[in-house]
Amino acid sequence: MQIFDCPFCGERDETEFHFVSEAGKVRPEPACQVSADTWAAYLHVKQNVKGAGREVWRHLSCGELFVMQRDTTSMVVIAVEPLRKSRP
Ligand SMILES: [Zn+2]
């Protein structure tokens, strides 16, 4: 079991978090005009970086999204940063 650090709530059990996607993916625009293959690649193709990668996670308890930099081979969390700077 791992402990993840929500930038808004602090350390919590990993079961409170949900993986959203790799960070840095750019949505093809205009979405209604891109090909089905381009759209499928945007939704489903991942880089699956070996080593340090950036991922978007959601803390289910507070609902906030944040970026977690994590080593995918050791599962060690390197850094976390909020997607927005403060809560409303
Ligand atoms: Zn939180």
Bridge partners, residue 6, by sequence: 10
> What is the CA(46)–ligand 1 centre distance, in A?
25
27-80 pLDDT, tens digit per residue, is: 999 999 999 999 999 999 998 899 999 999 999 999 999 999 999 999 999 999
Q: Per residue, what are the HEC states of 12-53?
A: EEHHHEEEEEECCCCCCCCHHHCCHHHHHHHHHCCCCCCCEE
Angle made by CA atoms 12, 84, 66, in degrees to the nearest 5 = 35
37-51 pLDDT, tens digit per residue, is: 999 999 999 988 999
> What is the CA(23)–ligand 1 centre distance, in A?
18
pTM over 0.85: no
pLDDT at 82 over 70: yes
The fold for domain 3-82 equals Folate-binding fold (3.30.2270)
pLDDT for the residue 87: 57
Residues with C-beta atoms within 5 A of ion ligand 1: 6, 8-9, 59, 62
